[in-house]
Structure 1
Amino acid sequence: MSDRQPTVSVIIPAYNAANFISQTIESVLNQTFTDFELLVIDDGSTDNTLAVTNQYALRDRRIQVLSQTNQGVSATRNYGVQIAKGNLIAFLDADDLWFPDKLTLHIQHFHANPNLAVSFSRVEFINFQGEPTGQLSTSRLTDLKAEDFLYENPTTTVSNIITRSQVFAEVGGFAEDMSYSEDLEWLFRVLCHQDHIWQIEGIDRVLLYYRASPSGLSASLYRMEAGWDLLIDRAKKYAPSLVQRHYSIARAVHLRYLARRAFRLQLPASVGLDFINRAIVSDWRILFREPHRTLLTILAVYGRYFLSLFQGKKQLIAKSK
């Protein structure tokens, strides 16, 4: 690597990512904006991720591959930030894909707004095999406030985030003891920062393919809930009164999201029922916040639950004959 200062530093944390890392790197190399460095950090992979990425580094001087013992994704991203040379920092997970004009449009976005801390875009979800689902992110893109990051995730994924290196210097890195909601905690911290009035704003274009995980374990949803609880604990340190005002309804919204996710993943009916029931108990106003979404979630979850009861009863009757 040379001592040149690129405009953008792209950071890819990689752990056992050999199946997808080539596609991900190619999506960076195919960018219409070319003044970047690509830092691929192998986080103690046990497959041939390191061999694959080293081959790319031999072919393109903009690519630097580093390797470390397994530290976790937040620590790996923070390490990338420490050695990054660009004034802008972009994150990309090792199985997601950028559209070719992603960097170009985000750089234009930063040039147009000196107070912009984080730029993001719409996202299209792809399945595990890489096939587009046609499902797009629908979060609000503008006028985002700190409390918005307690309710849902407007940026969807860390792969969608491009930020100024100055922001990391001011607010610090990702919380390394968090494996869920660490991006929300960091984004919340950015908007609560007192020394600089930063903005987080999205571009109304799809610039990222986000690969859905094949994992359908209910345990992962409960870990997501625990991650959100940790987010709230951290957020109380920066804005206690704000968290107190929004906590009950924000928790209800998050539990509703987990109920919908349980339904989409076809998890046992009792899992979705648990989440939606606790959402309503947390704050009944969830019935009036996006009522269409809440009603559909209730109908879907309860419908699956009663169907499972009916099918179970039929099986008992059949066995008794």
Structure 2
Amino acid sequence: MSESVNNEILSKSTNILPLVSVIIPAYNAANFIERTLNSVINQTYTNIEVIVVDDGSQDGTSAIVQSMMQKDQRIQLLYQTNAGVAAARNLAIKQAQGEFIAPIDADDIWYPQNLAKQVQRFQESDSSVGLVYSWSVVIDSEDNPSGDFHISEYEGDVYIALLYKNFLGNASSTLVRRSCFDIVGLYDCEFKAKGCQGCEDWDLYLRIAEHYQVRIVKEFLVGYRQTTSSMSHNYSSMVNSQQSVLALIQKKHPEIPHVIYRWSCSLFYIYIARKSSVSGKNIETLLCLYKALKLDFSMTLLRHDLYIQPIKIFLNSFTRTFEFLFPNNSKFLIKNQDNYPQNLKIENVEKIIKLKRILPAKIYENWRINWLSKKIAVQKYRVTG
């Protein structure tokens, strides 16, 4: 299968495989950088250069990368004093020679055919397509699927859908046409200066979606790592980062109805509520759900998180109370050790997608996005016509 994909790409590119520049920002990434690099150099698509930027690490990150460089000459290592993920990615892009840029974070992994399938989608498209993304599965510290995943079916003109939510899922799922950066610019380093890092990739994707079409590879080809430590972020900083992006869009596009910003903030609070719940932060979970409900009452009522998260909190509290009062009888409790099943059944994805399509929240969401897209298209026509 992998050979046929590469052969098809080869025949469509005048016998030359386009070079893909893989860019990896790394800060104290010693725990996972070797696995990340192995997943990159073992891609079935072989015409790649791999640029790792050590962002002022204080652990063994550079030593591990240097060791990998002895095994594979496609890997190169750059250094900078700690300046943040955006600056690290920008440095790599400026150094890159490829026709396509493939970002991946230093703790994530790609499955073998990710780049081949993404390049193939570009080869099947015209120059109006600037970005291709793959589906992601959430993995734990041992690379095992947790059972959670990121799937979306949005493609084409996705600006409004992407403004509503970052359906791409993470910063490791995309392949970007190099020429896009000449039009939209690089990653915005100002988020770090403002103390609100976290949405640099979403900001870039929005700028790309303004000018280009988006395509999708409907396969799980990215392993997005989430561990207990990675979930203990400063959630207020994440919210500030998301709201900073929305503020930039409001200033840039005053014609977009402000209601979408409330919807987007509400949905982001639901996302933070999930992460807070996994981290055991019950008060933060309930507070985020309240804020989501306040910002977007009708949609939040349709979302299962509004009901499931409080139930989980109650059951966990009951379990801890029971164990404290009756320590010798705790064996009778059914403990939920994991939030998701350990093995994601890929073969059931089509069933999951079909189920999502008929959920009231999804139907309502699609109606909203279509309504806003048509409304904004009319307003733009009136301005320019």
- TM-score bucket (shorter structure): 0.7 to 0.9
Who is 1:149 aligned against? 162
Question: Offset at 1:149?
Answer: 2.1
CA contact (8 A) 1:279 1:286 kept: no
The residue number in structure 2 matching 1:300 is 308
**1:261 partner letter:** K
After TM superposition, the structure 1 = structure 2 runs for residues 83-232 of structure 1, keeping only pairs within 5 Å, are 83-114=95-126, 115-178=128-191, 179-193=197-211, 198-215=212-229, 220-232=234-246
Distance 2:300 2:72 in 1: 54
Return 5+ residue gaps in structure 2 as ranges: 1-16, 192-196, 327-385
- 3-state SS of 1:241 partner: coil
TM normalised by structure 2 equals 0.73
Percent identity (aligned)? 31
Structure 1 Cα separation of the partners of residues 263 and 150 of structure 2: 22
Query: Counterpart in 1 of 2:53?
Result: 41
Match of residue 89 from structure 2: 77
Is residue 2:287 matched to residue 1:274?
A: yes
Asked if 1:237 is matched to 2:251, the reply is yes
8 Å CA contact 2:155, 2:213 repeated in 1: no
Query: How far apart are the structure 2 equivalents of 1:312 and 1:24?
Result: 38
Conservation of the 8 A alpha-carbon contact between 1:147 and 1:242: no
Structure 1 residues 96 and 287: alpha-carbon distance in aligned structure 2, compared to 1, 3 A threshold: closer
One of 265, 272, 277 as aligned partner of 1:251? 265
1:28 lines up with 2:40 in the alignment: yes
Distance 2:233 2:30 in 1: 26
1:241 deviates by: 2.3
The 8 Å contact of residues 263 and 300 in structure 1, kept in 2 or not, is answered as: no
Deviation of 1:139 (Å) = 2.2
Provide, for residues 197-243 of structure 1, a one-character-per-residue CA deviation record: whole Å limited to 9, x for no partner: x1122110111111103237766222211111111111123322225
How many Å apart are 1:7 and its aligned residue? 1.0
Aligned amino acid, residue 264 of structure 2: A
User: Any unmatched runs of 5+ in structure 1?
Assistant: none
**Separation in 2 of the partners of 1:239 and 1:35?**
39
2 CA distance for matches of 1:309 and 1:297? Answer: 18
